[in-house]
A and B are shown apart, each in its own frame.
Chain A
Amino acid sequence: MKTWRMGSGDPQRNAQGRLCHLLTLEGLRDVEIIELLDTAASFLDLGSRTVKKIPLLRGRTIVNLFYENSTRTRSTFELAAKRLSADVLNMAIASSSVNKGETLLDTVDNLLAMQVDGFILRHSEAGAAHLLARHLGEQAWVVNAGDGQHAHPTQALLDLFTIRHLVGPIHERVVLILGDVLHSRVARSLIQGLSILGCPQIRVLGPRTLVPPELVHLGVHVFQDDRAALEGVDVLYALRMQKERMDVQPLPSLEEYHRRFGLTPERIRLAAPGAVILHPGPMNRGVELTSELADGPQALILDQVTHGLALRMAVLARLAGGSG
């Protein structure tokens, strides 16, 4: 049966197709991603100036709306907004007070009544940013700073930036993502970004409970054997093992995970020469990777943080421009 389907417009674009929210990397064009990465590159040396601020978003008000704890992401966004001269309102809404009645949209409407230009939203539930963007339309923009297990586009963008900047063209590198891919918003967004930029092979590795074969639907090669997965890999991306996100433990123990899949100097030797290690942080030393590797020259983990600031500035500058 042929069934007529509703046109499912992309909620992060307006009627003219302009990107007016950043909710997910899904559906972005390669040129749009590259433009964001190039813009981020132009912000990189800002830290070396006397005045570390540019007046791009002078007079704009941005709300950091965090329904989930995250000191790192929140402070990077705050600093990024401030370097662009925007005013930033930090709203950390403890999960305990969510149930006191006011819904996300009511909270946002109240802020909107105070002429806010944009929202950076972190929420524990998948789709929260889409819900907000649909509600706002073009009244204000939304950046998804992580929604449940769905997406974390700015993290993925800074990872792409790091690979492109410090490793080489993405369409020439083999990337392996290790760990809890199934429950990871970082992995989902990174896989989408890598695919859009033409990564020749995206591999995922982990126990079947965290890396089920059905992940092929996301366009990755699924490995359960570490030796095969590591061979010829240029970029090793270790995901954080988040025990707190799982209601039933899919692993016997973190020690066992480390024994089977943790990054160690021995395992790294199986990868391509010069392979680098990325991690979205905060890392569990001795679980995802050994301290020796985390502090070694192959780890680009602190570069990711530096790039995160420039990248988030680029995202804010892109979304805020032309909408005033």
Chain B
Amino acid sequence: MEGLARYIRGIRILDPAHGRDELGDLVLAQGCIQDPQTFPLDQIQEELDGKGLFACPAFIETSFQAHTPGHGRDGDLGSELRAAAAGGFAQVLLRPDTNPVADHPGVLWEQRRLADQEGLLRVHLSAALTHALAGESLSELGRLVDAGARAFSQALQGIPNSRILRLALEYAADLRLPVFLFPEDSTLAAHGVMDEGPTSLRLGLAGRPMAAEEIGVERDLRIAANSGARIHFPHLSSAAAIARVAAARHRGQAVSCAVSLHHLLLQDHDVGYFQTAFKTLPPLRSQTNREALLRALANGAIQALTSAHTPWGRDWKGMTFAQAPFGIGTIEWTIPLALRLVQEGVADLLTVLGLLTVGPARILGLAVPDLRPGSPADLCIIDPDAAVIPASNRWSRAYQNPYVGWPLQGQLRYLFVDGRLVYLHP
């Protein structure tokens, strides 16, 4: 089913794929963007006034946990896809750290079936690189490609054994899918629950040193360089690790990295007195590192932004900091959070939007989303000046939200996927 034929008049068009930022009209019909000059006006079924709004391609999420298959208490594909839609996303890549782990074709078939049943957004599947993500033996990667995998991924688990990493990357290279790695020296990271630094010392919590990530990136880059695999680090937290990735890219290696909005907006100190809403993996780092991440973003050293969507339901609210699971599930607040980076002068609007659209598409080998006639009508219409003060999540089943009370700006008004209206702000 395709949406109505719509004419959007006088809207700021932001198209990062082509560096375009201008006022104009947009026509959506037959699931595609149409040329307003040539499209027969008598076929228009609805007109929208774009005054004060901007249009941009809908976003792509490269790290999306929907707990499907899973227990259900922490959300499911239904609840989390709605949250993603509210965040301006038309496409998501499911992470393989489900229960059971997506290391078997049957899990991917089930995910595909449920995604088609929901039908809301474009859902891409990833397959666990190793059995149960344990990093000990390879999954049947060939069969998983046949089952629809778009990427191989280790989600939030490293591969301690370097020889297995080498074999996995060499084997995956033949199958031509990107490999998402979680780079970490697990023996050095040990049981750390937050960044090792003054805050972990103060709270008596086990620290996870940033060096563990840097060593992990260095090792993974070296092993990947000889394997021919295209690798991606979906959530880096250390500015020094990003510099290593940038150097490898400069040498011509097929590698990319993404940073979560949380690592750009939050830091270890925010944990305060054991606030589990701020427990992430990799952990939130120091202010100095966060400022370096913002500079890396401005310098183009980061290829994509992610919400690292990891919802946890209210069953976990009684857990101590060490017991609580890692992760934040705030994908539905992505637009005001991302626009915050623009307002604070970290990067311009086209750059930030590009990191949510063009960047992820290139990493996943998808068509680069844009707003040219003929492209699929996947787009967001956003009111950049609307005040937004995050409260509890409305769509996601994630119980906690570290951004509660932040004075933000930027409200999604409409989200179109294939020309269909899938989100409308009341």
Contacts and interface: CB of A to CB of B under 8 A. Distances in A.
B272 A1 contact: no
A207 interface: no
B191 interface: yes
A217 interface: yes
Nearest to A12: B273
Contact of A215 (B197, B201, B203): B201
A242 to B, nearest CB: 13
Given A131-B320, A214-B198, A1 B204 contact: no
Contacts of B345: 1
A206 B206 CA distance: 19
A14 B352 CA distance: 41
B294 A1 contact: yes
Interface string A133-166: 0010000000000011111000000000000000
Contact of B265 (A3, A8, A103): A3
B190, B198, B291, B321, most chain A CB atoms within 10 A: B321
Interface string A1-32: 11111101011000000000001101000000
A8 B272 contact: yes
A126 interface: yes
A188 B344 contact: no
B192 to A, nearest CB: 12
B405 A6 contact: yes
B156 interface: no
Contacts of B317: 105
B203 A104 contact: no
Contacts of B201: 182, 214-215, 217-218
Give the dominant DSSP class at A's interface: loop
B346 interface: yes
B291 A125 contact: no
Contacts of B386: none
B191 to A, nearest CB: 7
A150 B206 CA distance: 10
Contacts of A4: 406-407
A131 B274 contact: yes
A118 to B, nearest CB: 19
Interface size class, chain A: 35 or more
A123 interface: yes
B240 interface: no
A104 B317 CA distance: 11
B321 A125 contact: yes
Given A1-B344, A125-B323, A103 B318 contact: yes
A247 B190 contact: yes
Contact of B270 (A6, A128, A183): A6
B407 to A, nearest CB: 6
Given A127-B321, A131-B318, A217-B202, A1 B274 contact: no
A307 interface: no
A126 B294 contact: no
B203 A127 contact: yes
A130 interface: yes
B204 A126 contact: yes
B173 interface: no
B54 to A, nearest CB: 22
B44 interface: no
Nearest to A126: B204
A151 B270 contact: no
B247 interface: no
B272 A148 contact: no
B404 A127 contact: no
B322 interface: yes
A104 B205 contact: no
A82 interface: no
Nearest to A218: B201
Nearest to B187: A248
Interface in A72-117: 103-106
Interface string A185-221: 1001000000000000000000000000011011000
A185 B204 contact: yes
A184 B233 CA distance: 36
B321 to A, nearest CB: 5
Nearest to A109: B318
Contacts of A215: 201
Contact of A149 (B204, B273, B294, B323): B204
B353 to A, nearest CB: 18
Contacts of B273: 8, 10-11, 23-24, 127, 130
Given A214-B201, A247-B191, A127 B274 contact: yes
A120 B323 CA distance: 21
B319 A217 contact: no
Contacts of A182: 201
Contacts of A130: 273-274
A106 B321 CA distance: 17
Given A3-B265, A130-B274, A214-B198, A123 B320 contact: yes
B318 A104 contact: yes
A46 B323 CA distance: 42
A247 B317 CA distance: 27
A4 B320 CA distance: 26
A126 B320 contact: yes
A1 B340 CA distance: 10
B330 to A, nearest CB: 14
B322 A150 contact: no
Interface string B181-203: 00000000011000001100111
B348 to A, nearest CB: 14
Nearest to B265: A3
A101 to B, nearest CB: 11
26 contacts: A1-B344, A3-B344, A6-B405, A8-B273, A24-B273, A103-B319, A104-B320, A105-B317, A123-B320, A125-B323, A126-B204, A127-B203, A127-B274, A127-B320, A127-B322, A130-B274, A131-B319, A148-B322, A150-B203, A150-B204, A185-B204, A188-B204, A214-B201, A217-B198, A218-B201, A248-B190
Given A105-B318, A125-B323, 20 more contacts: A1-B294, A1-B344, A3-B265, A6-B270, A6-B406, A24-B273, A126-B203, A126-B320, A126-B321, A126-B322, A127-B320, A131-B319, A148-B204, A148-B205, A188-B202, A214-B201, A217-B197, A217-B201, A217-B202, A248-B190
